[in-house]
């Protein structure tokens, strides 16, 4: 069963206070067993019913100490011993109740403060809905007990074009001359978040914001049938060349990686820490309730030798469940289902505590991982991106990786979640439904949670006697300098068990009168540009090099593969990936996909459906058809189309 007391130590070191080495030590006994701590404990109850209230955020005004009440409504805050004699203000807040503040003077040892909360109506100022009338109706229906008041600072009630979501700016890759830019280097990307997020916008009748569309994540959302490696190398490289569907004078090159699948029953033991956001912004049907469903699915997959701890954060961070064996699923599930949302978002404190718990329960040679579930809104404590990234990079080098799961609408901080996942040697997925949770955490559990190769980089050298120009489709925020390829200190993407990764290059062959603009290079003062006549004649179109590291090693290994200058009929996988790429370019208003419409995307995708056992490809076709029926491409990005 769950412990009846939650002890929370939040960022005490940043204030210069010592922390106990064992947060579960008896209250009043320090690390040496001699010095006494100062504690504040109590129980929070409902004024009308007298029932205990779980999930109440208890904080100390002006300080970074706090706690969340447990199943019995009880809380405990531990202070350093020298706090005895100080007067503090205790602040209790919970969604649907009036805030309570009480002053108390701390005495040495144990202090008790019980709190009674009174229910109140809620002015739902904090609800920021996505651009959707349907979404607004769901929010209204989800809170019948509250008096919903109109925000006066918005142009209209539940303004369908208003949200506080953030996406990193993406500048589309241009065509580059192969003679002056023969090398293209980038980190692989196994994130899938953008596809599910784009799907959410389409289902809500909204054209996705341009920067929410990351084409490589759309393409890599889908599994492909490439052969898995047969040697000890954990990944295999496959290539194809075919005419580009949207520009037949050009060629499209597919470079695909396939990770070795792993029987999860035989996978290394897992030491997992669920880091769950229970702040007030998570109090939405598409956030915390969906989070509970998703993690319940994951818990069902655990083996007895796996272990799970649960850390939550709101205004403060707390350990809800110490590391517990996977055989005790009932206890883990009970801890998850008991969570409630309320308060602000001390994400930085939560990340620090989660990594601390992961380190204390580290499994040597095992899968040590923090799984962060949030809408990405960190606004209390360590909230700067650079500060969090430095912490995450430090823990990554110590062998604890990070997986990020995004939830919810209207407040999604996509750019921040993508960034910290990249730096944490993990992946970023967006969960918009129980079906998506099943895909990410059950069907693709190995790819999501088990890294088989880290720091995977690709470098492609183009033969200037065959290639006039080229451009990489997508991966704009994954580009690397050419010299980074051989530098093992440069971080890159991770490949999970059974994962597929596809990259597409659009190539302008030598001698073709291309209709696209190809940016050249000014003449140089001190040297001449490369003369194509001096290059070695070869039938190769390009040369692929790949570097990767084993998950527990720091030195990379090199693989390479020449790609010949000949085209063939595209495989079903190639045709489908091409359709998804075209769809992404249309959503981004790409200058390189003119004259190719949604009807062409549907036709091309249908020719590449294949077996489609899980139905993902057929769903894509329906999604494009929905966008076509709503005439979304005629709308400005971020606005709603014509609802049927």
3 Cβ partners below 8 Å, 6+ apart? 70, 322
**Percent of the chain residues past pLDDT 70, beyond the cut:** 81
Give the model confidence (pLDDT) of 429-462 as tens digits: 999 888 899 999 999 998 888 999 999 999 999 9
C-beta neighbour count of 621 within 10 angstroms = 18
Give the model confidence (pLDDT) of 407-437 as tens digits: 988 778 888 888 888 888 788 999 988 889 9
More confident residue, 590 or 421: 590
All domains in the chain, ordered by first residue: 7-117 (2.60.40.4130), 122-162 (no CATH), 176-262+453-516+537-634 (2.60.40.1230), 270-444 (3.40.50.410)
Interatomic CA distance for residues 98 and 53, integer angstroms? 13
Of 42-51, 168-177, 395-404, 513-522, give the lowest mean pLDDT range. Answer: 513-522
Residue 93 confidence class, pLDDT cut points 50, 70, 90: confident
Work out the average pLDDT over 172-193. Answer: 94
Residue 51 confidence class, pLDDT cut points 50, 70, 90: confident
The 3-state DSSP composition of the chain as helix, strand, coil percent (nearest 5) reads: 25, 25, 45
More confident residue, 361 or 189: 361
Q: Are 480 and 244 in contact (CB under 8 A)?
A: no
96 Cβ partners below 8 Å, 6+ apart? 119, 120, 122, 145, 146
Interatomic CA distance for residues 84 and 622, integer angstroms? 65
Pairing of strands 183-187, 57-60: unpaired
Interatomic CA distance for residues 350 and 229, integer angstroms? 39
Interatomic CA distance for residues 527 and 525, integer angstroms? 6
User: Which pLDDT score is estimated for 95?
Assistant: 62
Q: Are 465 and 538 in contact (CB under 8 A)?
A: yes
Give the model confidence (pLDDT) of 132-161 as tens digits: 334 333 433 333 332 222 222 323 223 334
User: Which pLDDT score is estimated for 97?
Assistant: 75
Look over the chain and give the mean of its residue pLDDT values, rounded to a whole number: 82
More confident residue, 472 or 282: 472
Helices (H), 430-536: 434-438, 445-449
Burial of 360 (0-12, 13-18, 19+ CB in 10 A): middle
Q: Are 6 and 353 in contact (CB under 8 A)?
A: no
Interatomic CA distance for residues 554 and 570, integer angstroms? 38
């Amino acid at each position: 069963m769950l412990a009846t007391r939650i002890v929370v130590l939040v960022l005490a070191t940043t204030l210069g206070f010592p922390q106990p080495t064992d947060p579960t030590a008896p209250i009043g006994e320090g690390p040496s067993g001699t010095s006494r701590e100062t504690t504040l404990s109590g129980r929070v109850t409902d004024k009308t019913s007298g029932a205990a209230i779980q999930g109440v955020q208890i904080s100390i005004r002006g300080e970074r100490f706090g706690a969340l009440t447990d199943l019995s409504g009880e809380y405990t805050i531990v202070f350093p011993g020298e706090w005895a004699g100080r007067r503090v203000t205790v602040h209790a807040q919970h969604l649907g109740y009036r805030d309570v503040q009480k002053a108390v003077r701390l005495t040495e040892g144990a202090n008790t403060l019980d709190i009674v909360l009174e229910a109140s109506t809620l002015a739902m100022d904090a609800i920021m809905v996505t651009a959707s009338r349907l979404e607004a109706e769901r929010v209204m229906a989800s809170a019948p007990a509250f008096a919903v008041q109109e925000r006066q600072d918005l142009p209209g009630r539940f303004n369908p074009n208003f949200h506080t979501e953030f996406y990193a700016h993406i500048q589309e890759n241009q065509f580059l001359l192969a003679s002056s830019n023969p090398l293209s280097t980038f980190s692989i990307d196994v994130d899938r978040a953008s596809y599910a997020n784009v799907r959410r916008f389409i289902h809500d009748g909204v054209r996705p914001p341009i920067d929410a569309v990351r084409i490589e994540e759309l393409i890599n959302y889908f599994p492909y049938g490439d052969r898995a490696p047969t040697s000890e190398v954990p990944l295999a490289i496959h290539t194809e060349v075919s005419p580009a569907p949207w520009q037949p004078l050009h060629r499209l090159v597919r470079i695909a990686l396939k990770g070795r699948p792993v029987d999860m029953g035989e996978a290394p033991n897992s030491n997992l820490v669920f880091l769950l956001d229970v702040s007030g912004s998570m109090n939405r049907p598409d956030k915390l309730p969906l989070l509970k469903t998703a993690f319940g699915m994951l818990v069902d997959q655990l083996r007895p030798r796996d272990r799970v701890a649960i850390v939550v954060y709101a205004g403060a961070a707390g350990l809800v469940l110490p590391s517990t064996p996977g055989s005790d699923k009932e206890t883990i599930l009970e801890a998850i289902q008991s969570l409630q949302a309320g308060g602000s978002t001390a994400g930085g404190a939560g990340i620090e505590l989660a990594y601390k718990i992961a380190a204390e329960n580290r499994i040597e040679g095992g899968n040590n991982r923090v799984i962060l579930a949030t809408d990405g809104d960190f606004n209390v404590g360590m909230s700067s991106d650079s500060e969090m990234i430095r912490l995450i990079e430090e823990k990554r080098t110590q062998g604890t990786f990070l997986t990020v799961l995004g939830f919810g609408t209207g407040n999604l901080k996509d750019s921040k979640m993508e960034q910290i996942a990249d730096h944490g040697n993990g992946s970023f997925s967006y969960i918009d439904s129980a079906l998506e949770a099943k895909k990410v955490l059950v069907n693709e559990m190995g790819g999501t949670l088990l890294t088989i190769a880290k720091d995977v980089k690709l470098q492609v050298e183009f033969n200037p006697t065959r290639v006039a120009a080229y451009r990489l489709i997508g991966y704009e925020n994954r580009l690397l300098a050419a010299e980074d390829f051989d530098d093992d200190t440069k971080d890159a993407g991770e490949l999970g068990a059974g994962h597929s990764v596809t990259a597409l290059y659009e190539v302008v062959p030598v001698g073709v009168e291309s209709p696209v603009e190809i940016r050249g290079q000014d003449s140089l003062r001190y040297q001449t540009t490369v003369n194509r006549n001096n290059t070695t004649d070869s039938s190769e179109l390009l040369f692929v090099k790949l570097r990767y590291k084993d998950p527990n090693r720091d030195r990379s290994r090199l693989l390479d593969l020449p790609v010949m200058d000949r085209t063939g009929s595209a495989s079903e996988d190639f045709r489908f990936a091409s359709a998804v790429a075209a769809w992404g370019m249309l959503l981004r208003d790409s200058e390189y996909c003119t004259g190719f419409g949604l009807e062409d995307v549907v036709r091309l995708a249908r020719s590449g459906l294949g077996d489609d056992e899980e139905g993902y490809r057929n769903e894509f076709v329906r999604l494009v058809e929905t966008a076509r029926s709503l005439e979304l491409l005629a709308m400005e990005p971020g606005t709603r189309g014509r609802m049927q």
